[in-house]
């Protein structure tokens, strides 16, 4: 990875709040194949926190009682989606379909010529597969 200019070196993690912690944990671990680094129940906040690793990236999954729903569609300002690199997008889409995860049709990025598609996590957070 090329060194960024300035003090910021790279992304450390992305945080996600789930409406149903166990359902989302299953999705990220059992369906997407992320590795659990740590998992803790924070009694004082009545909240779970699970740290996942995938490649060089990390995701924190949280649960909070009564968290408001995220606006996903129509697209709202803020973080648009998370994109994951895959070697074979067709095989990954097929594996997701076997778990009941529906992906949009595979498209070609007009600027890079790479294949990509979108799907959603259990709370409709937009996720992208990008073939590298």
Residue-wise pLDDT for 58-115, tens only, equals: 999 999 988 887 776 666 777 788 999 999 999 999 999 999 999 999 999 999 999 9
Q: Please report which confidence band the pLDDT of residue 118 belongs to, taking 50, 70 and 90 as the band edges.
A: very high
Q: What is the model's pLDDT at position 79? A: 78
- What percent of the chain shows pLDDT beyond 90? 73
Task: At 64, list the tokens.
Answer: 């909070």
Q: What is the model's pLDDT at position 22? A: 96
Calculate mean pLDDT across residues 38-63.
94
Give CA–CA dist 9/1, Å, rounded: 10
Q: What's 67's DSSP letter?
A: P
Distances (CA, A) of 32 to 11, 16, 36, 54, 82: 20, 15, 12, 9, 13
Beta strands in 26-68 (DSSP E): 35-42, 47-54, 57-63
- Within 10 A of 15 (CB to CB), how many other CB atoms are there? 11
Average pLDDT of the chain? 91
Give CA–CA dist 5/48, Å, rounded: 35
Whole-prediction pTM value?
0.87
Give CA–CA dist 2/78, Å, rounded: 26
Tell me: pLDDT of 20 over 70. yes
Calculate mean pLDDT across residues 21-45.
96
Residue-wise DSSP of 68-119:
PPP--SS--SS---EEEEES-HHHHHHHHHHTT---PPPEE-TTT--EEEEE
């Amino acid at each position: 990875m090329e060194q960024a200019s300035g003090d910021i070196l790279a992304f450390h993690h992305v945080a996600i709040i789930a409406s149903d912690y166990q359902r989302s944990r299953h999705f990220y671990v059992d369906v997407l194949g992320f590795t659990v680094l740590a998992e803790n129940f924070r009694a004082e906040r009545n909240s779970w926190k699970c740290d996942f690793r995938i490649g060089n990236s990390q995701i924190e999954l949280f649960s909070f009682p009564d968290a408001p729903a995220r606006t996903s569609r129509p697209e709202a300002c803020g973080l648009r989606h998370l994109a994951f690199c895959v070697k074979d997008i067709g095989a990954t889409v097929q594996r997701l379909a076997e778990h009941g995860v529906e992906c949009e049709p595979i498209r070609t990025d007009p600027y890079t010529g790479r294949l990509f598609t979108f799907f959603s996590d259990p709370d409709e957070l937009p996720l992208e597969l990008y073939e590298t």
